[in-house]
Amino acid sequence: MSLVSVIIPVYNVERYIKRCLDAALGQTFEDIEYILIDDCSTDRSVETIREYISKHPRGKSVKLILHDTNRGIGFVRGEGIQCATGEYLFFLDSDDTIELNCIEKLYQVMKETEVDFVVGSYDKTDFETGGFLGNAILQSRKIVGRDAIIKAFYEDAFPLMVWNKLIQTSFLKRHHISCSLPRYEDDVFNFQIICNATSCVILSEVTYHYCIREKSITFRREFDDAYFKIQLEMTNLTREYAKEFQNQAIYPYLSCKLFWQRVFVAESLLYDSKAKIKDKNSLLSSFLRSDISLKEVCGFRSNKMVNYLMIVLSEMPCWVKKSFLWIHKNMMKN
C-alpha cells in the first residue's frame, strides 16, 4: 500500500506520454503508486508506456490497466479511484506535466494541516511550441468550514478542475464521490468535493503545467452535440445536488455560481456549436431554466439580484435569452 496514488488516464497519447511520465516518475516523493488506465487507444500509447516503464527504476510502481472498449474519461477516473490503494489521490492528465516536487509539496501541506484536499496553482503552455500562455496563481490560505469553502468556490478562489488536487481517499469514499459520467465530468466531480469538504488548503506555488493542444476538447471552438448533452446532464446533477443546501445560508451563493456556469455553457452553445437552431433553442431553455421561486429569493439574505435575474430570464422568450447572452459575452470582453 502506497501513501499516494497518481491516476493517469491514457487515450491516444503516444506523442506526449513520455513527457508526462518523466514528470510523474521523476517525483522527489518516493511512496507513490502510478495507475495508468488505457481507454482502448488506437495508436502506440500502450507500447510506448510498456517500453518506458521496463527501463525506468520506478517501473514496478506502475500499474497499467487496459480497456478493450472505449468507455470515456469519467469512467476511467472512476475506475482509478476504485483501484487506488493510496491514502491520497492525485489526478494527472497524460498531456500535462507537474513540478518534480509537486507530490512532495502537496503531501507535506496535507500532513501539516490534515485537510480534505490541497490544491496548487498552475500555468498554461502551448504543447507544440512550449510557449508560456499564462498562469493561475491562487491566494495561499486554509479554509475551514463547508460554508466557507462553498463561498470561496463562488468567489473563484480555486479552479474547477479534477487535476492538481491531492485528495484524501477516505474522504472520497466516505461521501461516495466518484466520476459517474463517461466524458467531461470535471464539474460534477469537483462540485461534490466542494459541497462535502469541511477543510482545504490553497497554495500559490505552481505545481502543475497545463498543456493546451489544438485538438483538445477544451481548446476547440466548435463543440459537438454530445458535449452539450453531457453538459446538460452535468447541469441537472449539480442542480439536484445543490437542493440539499436549500435551507442553508450558503444556498444563494451556490445558486448564483451554478447560474453563471450555465450562462457560459449557453454562450458556447449559441456561438460555437453547429447544432440546428431548433436544438439550440431547446438546450438554451434547459440551461437557463430557474430552479428557485420568487418566494425563495425574497427570503435570501444575499445575492438577491442575480437570483431574481435567473427567474426573470427563465420566463423570457428565446430571443431575449439570446440577447442577454450576447450582451454578457461582449461585457466579458471589456
- CATH number of 124's domain: 3.90.550.10
Question: CA of 176: how far to CAs of 81, 82, 109, 193, in Å?
Answer: 11, 11, 24, 10
- Pairwise CA distance, residues 45 & 67, whole Å: 13
Least Cα distance to 264 among 215, 223, 212 occurs for 223
| pLDDT reported for residue 218 | 46
Q: Please tell me the predicted confidence (pLDDT) of residue 203.
A: 96
Q: What is the pLDDT of residues 262-282, one digit of tens each?
A: 787 787 777 777 667 777 777
- What is the pLDDT confidence band of residue 226, given thresholds at 50, 70 and 90? low
290 in the same domain as 165: no
Q: Which of 155, 185, 212 is a domain's end point? A: 212
| Confidence category of residue 92, pLDDT binned at 50, 70, 90 | very high
pLDDT surpassing 70 at residue 222: no
Asked if 283 and 269 count as a contact pair (C-beta separation under 8 A), the reply is yes
Instruction: Please give the pLDDT value at position 118.
Output: 97
If one counts the domains in the chain, the total is 2
Q: Is the pLDDT of residue 189 over 60?
A: yes
Domain match, 250 and 167 both:
no
- Reduced to 3 states, what is the DSSP secondary structure of residue 118? strand
Structural domain of residue 326, as residue ranges? 225-333
Q: Are 55 and 127 in contact (CB under 8 A)?
A: no
Is the CB of residue 125 less than 8 Å from the CB of residue 211? yes
> Comparing C-alpha atoms, which of 249, 243, 257 is closest to residue 156?
257
Determine the Cα–Cα distance for residues 2 and 33; give it in Å rounded to an integer.
6
pLDDT in tens, 99-124: 999 999 999 999 999 999 999 999 98
Roughly how many angstroms between the first and final C-alpha of the chain, as a whole number? Answer: 52
Q: Which of 212, 242, 266 is the last residue of a domain?
A: 212
The strand pair at 97-98 and 199-212 is best described as: antiparallel
Question: Do residue 8 and residue 138 come from a single domain?
Answer: yes
- Angstrom distances, CA of residue 54 to CA of 49, 50, 97, 217: 8, 6, 21, 32
166 & 197 share domain = yes
Mean pLDDT within 170-185: 75
What's residue 183's pLDDT?
57
Q: Are 143 and 11 found together in one domain?
A: yes
Are 255 and 150 within one domain? Answer: no
Q: Which of 32-41, 76-85, 220-229, 232-241 has the highest mean pLDDT?
A: 32-41
Residues 188 and 260 in one domain: no
Average pLDDT for 203-207? 96
53 and 190: one domain? yes
CA–CA distance, 291 with 283 (Å, rounded to integer): 16
Angle between helices 251-272 and 225-242 (to 10 degrees): 170
Is residue 222 within 8 A of residue 274, CB to CB? The reply is yes
Residues 178 and 282 in one domain: no
What would you report as the CA-atom Rg of the chain, rounded to the nearest whole angstrom? 21
131 with 278, same domain: the answer is no
SS3 204: strand
| Stretch (H or E) spanning 9 | strand 4-10
Work out the widest C-alpha separation in the chain, in whole angstroms. Answer: 65
Reported as a single tens digit per residue, the pLDDT across 291-333 is 776 667 766 666 777 777 777 888 888 878 888 888 877 776 6
